[in-house]
Structure 1
Amino acid sequence: MTPPEHPDRQTGQASPAVLSCAKMGVTEHPLTVLKTRKEFLRAARAGRQGTSSMMVQARRRTGDEAADGIRVGFTCSKKVGNAVARNRAKRRLREAARAVLPGKGVPGWDYVLIGRAEATANRPFDALKGDLAYALRKLHDKQT
């Protein structure tokens, strides 16, 4: 199931869902949400870095794709738990991404955050943000 698209008020056309970072005081790199299976599969074939609370997959977009901004996707398997547990883990991942990616992420990259059973929902939020920052640092160090 893909997240709903939000109609553009001026054109009436559907536009991609965007995570607002304005409440965090960051507006230069809005986060666009990955929606299609094809986008998630492309990220799965790229670099990955595991932490105790999540797995982060990252890929640099190629020239034929729009290279503006940071795109991010979130997923949790049924190993994480029932629907309530999966949604809670994804909400925490979204908030961590909203807080960390505008400052540590690189424009032109796609990131997929994968929740882990028990750990994502129960880890202290500051540690969750620290895990994401660590994973981004390791992923981008591998690229250079």
Structure 2
Amino acid sequence: MLPLAHRLRDGSDFRAASRGGRRAGSRTLVVHLLVVDDDSGLRVGFVVSKAVGNAVARNRVKRRLRHLAREHLRSLPGSAVLVVRALPAAAQASSADLEADLVRCLGRVSA
């Protein structure tokens, strides 16, 4: 589970990161990163639509992504908004595939 201080819950922050941040995509994920100037810290949000599957599949994907993102928080800028959007292929992907895609996308947006 992500600490409360790192959770993104405001819709306007999701929109700002999606529209104004850097974007990188893979077969299973699309990652948006918006570096901000304030000292709010790093916040992470997840978007898993009904296209991914039923509620069980969506929740499983969200849990796996939260766990993987928590492990990679240190590699990101100190004050940023990260949005991870799951694509339908994420429901059938293994955790190793999700992690590889996440690391690859994070490397591209933070470079």
**TM-score, scaled relative to structure 2:** 0.87
Tell me how many residue pairs correspond in the alignment.
Answer: 110
Consecutive unaligned residues of structure 2, counting only runs of 5 or more, are none
Q: Which has the higher contact order (CA 8 A, sep 6+)?
A: 2
2:99 corresponds, among 129, 134, 138, to: 129
Higher Rg of the two aligned structures: 1
Which structure dedicates a bigger proportion of its chain to helix? 2
Asked whether the 8 Å contact 1:31–1:72 carries over to 2, the reply is no
Alignment of 1:51 with 2:26, yes or no, is yes
Task: Give the Cα–Cα distance (whole angstroms) in 2 for the partners of residues 99 and 88 of structure 1.
Answer: 17
Task: Give the Cα–Cα distance (whole angstroms) in 1 for the partners of residues 30 and 110 of structure 2.
Answer: 15
Question: What do residues 80-118 of structure 1 show as CA deviations (whole Å, max 9, x unaligned)?
Answer: 11211111111111011012222x21211110011111x
CA RMSD of aligned residues (A): 1.9
Alignment of 1:61 with 2:36, yes or no, is yes
Shift >2 Å, 4+ stretches: none
Task: Give the Cα–Cα distance (whole angstroms) in 1 for the partners of residues 5 and 31 of structure 2.
Answer: 16
Task: Say which SS state the counterpart of residue 34 (structure 2) adopts.
Answer: strand
Question: What do residues 12-55 of structure 1 show as CA deviations (whole Å, max 9, x unaligned)?
Answer: xxxxxx814xxxxxxxxx86100011110111112111011211
Task: Say which SS state the counterpart of residue 41 (structure 1) adopts.
Answer: helix
Asked whether the 8 Å contact 1:57–1:112 carries over to 2, the reply is yes
Task: Say which SS state the counterpart of residue 72 (structure 2) adopts.
Answer: helix
Q: Which residue identity is paired with 1:79? A: A
